[in-house]
Amino acid sequence: MRWEDLDQQPCSLARTLAVVGDRWTLLILRDSFLGIRRFDVFEQRLGITRHVLTDRLKKLVSYGVLYKSPYQERPLREEYRLSDKGLELYPVILGLVSWGDKHMSDERGAPIVHTHKTCGLHMHPSTHCSECGDAITAKDVKLSVGVNWQGHLDEFLPKKPATQT
């Protein structure tokens, strides 16, 4: 599988990685959720080259994750804002941050605390079933091929190993 072809794969994760699957893009998204919108501020905060930043921002705009919004008329200057599609990535970013807080932090603990505005308490993301509300882990989920993909993905999902007698 070639990196350039990820968006053509019959896998939602591969297609998603084609858009957000490199370190600079994830850091741009992090900063976007922190309220950063302007090219020069991204460049300064991330220490990223102009060429790479331009490339990543163009990709995020082309996939509809960010959109450009003018903030100055003459000369025209635009900032980058999260679209609704981009805002839907928040649980993904929050999940990565939470994993990092748990597994990658030092003796000082989490660098940023997330507080739920409604209840005022510090929170950690969790995944729940959309139908029954139960908390779920990877062990609680069964995978099957989508109805419109029948016959196309038989080789994609791993086969259940034969039980030994």
pLDDT digits (tens, 9 = 90+) for 47-92: 999 999 999 999 999 999 999 999 999 999 999 999 999 999 999 9
SS3 state at 42: helix
Which residues pair with residue 122 across a beta bridge?
A: 115
84: exposed, middle or buried (Cβ count in 10 Å: 0-12, 13-18, 19+)? exposed
Q: What is the pLDDT of residues 85-124, one digit of tens each?
A: 999 999 999 999 999 999 999 999 999 999 999 999 999 8
Contact 101, 110 (CB under 8 A): yes
All domains in the chain, ordered by first residue: 1-88 (1.10.10.10), 95-159 (no CATH)
Q: The whole model's pTM is what?
A: 0.85
Query: Which residue carries 């996939």 as its tokens?
Result: 63
Measured CA distances, 33 to 28, 37, 53, 58, 88 (Å): 9, 9, 17, 18, 11
Which residues pair with residue 69 across a beta bridge?
A: 79
